[in-house]
Each structure stands twice: as C-alpha cells, then as structure tokens.
Copies of this chain bind each other. A is one copy, B any other.
Amino acid sequence: MSLPHALLTSLLEQPCSGMDLARRFGRSIGFFWPATHQQIYKELGKLEAAGWVRSSAEEGARGRKRCYEVLPAGEQELKRWVAETDEPPPLRDAMMVRLRAEAALGTGAGVENDLLHRLARHRTQLALYEDIEQRDFTGRELSAAEQLQYLILQSGLTTEREHIRFCEKALALMEALEPAGV
C-alpha cells in the first residue's frame, strides 16, 4: 500500500491542504497512484497520528482549510520506504478477458465495442501526456528531479502508445476473422 508514501512525496514537493492534494492527484501523482479525496483525508489523519505530518488547524475543525506539511520523521519514513522493493503490480484487464471470451464463444460476440472505447480513451490520455511533455519538459535544461519526473512521464507515453497499437491490431484481426460484419 503506497498511498501514505505517495502523500508524503506530494506534500514534500509542496505543502498544501487535503483538497489541494486531491486535485493534484487528479493530474500528476494520481496517474500512477489514483486516490479519491475520501481516501486522502482518512490517510492524512493516520499520517498525522503517526507524527509524519503536521497540519495548521486544531482537531475537529470541519469545513476549515488546513495545510499539511511533512515532519522530519515523515521524511525519514519516506526514505526508508523508497529503499524497499515490491512485486510488480498484478494486472487485471477486463478487455483481455473479453478477447479470450470472444475466442471461446466463437467470434461475433462484440469485443469491438470495448476495443473502440479503449482506443478512444488511450488516445485522449496520450494527448494529455503529450501536452504535459510539451509544456514542462521541452526546450530547456532539466534538473535532476525533473529528469526523473520526465522519465516517469515517458513511461506513461510509451504505455499509452502501446495500448493504442494493441487496440488497432486487435480490431484489424477481428475484421479479418469476421469479414462480413456479423
């Protein structure tokens, strides 16, 4: 479970409120560790209880904005965790199950729907990543931290392009297997 460490990282980059974190998770760290505001608030509570972060408001101040920042103990914990290892995350992709189901049923079951839908989604996501690349990482010297962030973005770019190629290839194969449009 990496949510606490994703939060520590994000707060280390820039101290902010839970809502700000939620928004930031929507566009940067959230690309590889998504989280909703509900999860974030609960986890921030735990981080504070553990003494890893501190916030600028008294207990039970519902509705009032509170700003979180990482404490030395939190930074220590993050360092410890970075040096650990994990297994690759298991993949769970319903579209692959659909393709195999289509094979088992004999073609004509309609995976094309999902393939087309996913194709559109991956194209959108790729365009988004390309915008970020253009805006943040192009045409100037990059610091060490920026080079690492760019590397991560490139992984996203490659992945989306691979998914697009896969959907296109699968659609072409479906076309070849059921030429008449069953």
Tell me the A139-170 residues at the B interface (CB within 8 Å).
144-149, 151-152, 155, 158-159, 162-163, 166, 169-170
Q: Are the C-beta atoms of B85 and A113 separated by less than 8 Å?
A: yes
A84-B113 contact given A105-B75, A159-B162, A169-B151, CB 8 Å threshold? yes
In this complex, what residue of B is CB-closest to A102?
A: B82
Distance between Cα atoms of A7 and B134 in the complex (Å) = 44
Contacts of A144 in B (CB 8 A): 103, 106-107, 177
Contact of A90 among B34, B95, B98 (CB under 8 A): B34
Tell me the A46-83 residues at the B interface (CB within 8 Å).
75, 78-79, 81-83
Q: Are the C-beta atoms of B173 and A33 separated by less than 8 Å?
A: no
Copies of the chain in the assembly: 2
Q: Mark A1-44, 1 if CB is under 8 A from B, else 0.
A: 01001101100110000000000000001011110000000000
Interface residues of A (CB under 8 A from B): 2, 5-6, 8-9, 12-13, 29, 31-34, 75, 78-79, 81-107, 109-111, 113-114, 117-118, 121-122, 125, 144-149, 151-152, 155, 158-159, 162-163, 166, 169-170, 173, 177
Question: Knowing that A81-B101, A86-B114, A96-B155 are A-B contacts, what are 18 other residue pairs whose CB atoms are under 8 Å apart, sorted by A's residue number?
Answer: A2-B92, A5-B98, A32-B91, A32-B96, A79-B105, A79-B109, A82-B102, A82-B111, A83-B109, A85-B114, A85-B117, A88-B122, A89-B92, A89-B94, A96-B152, A100-B149, A147-B177, A158-B166
10 closest Cβ pairs, A-B complex: A83-B110, A32-B96, A103-B148, A103-B145, A85-B117, A82-B109, A2-B94, A9-B101, A12-B104, A86-B94
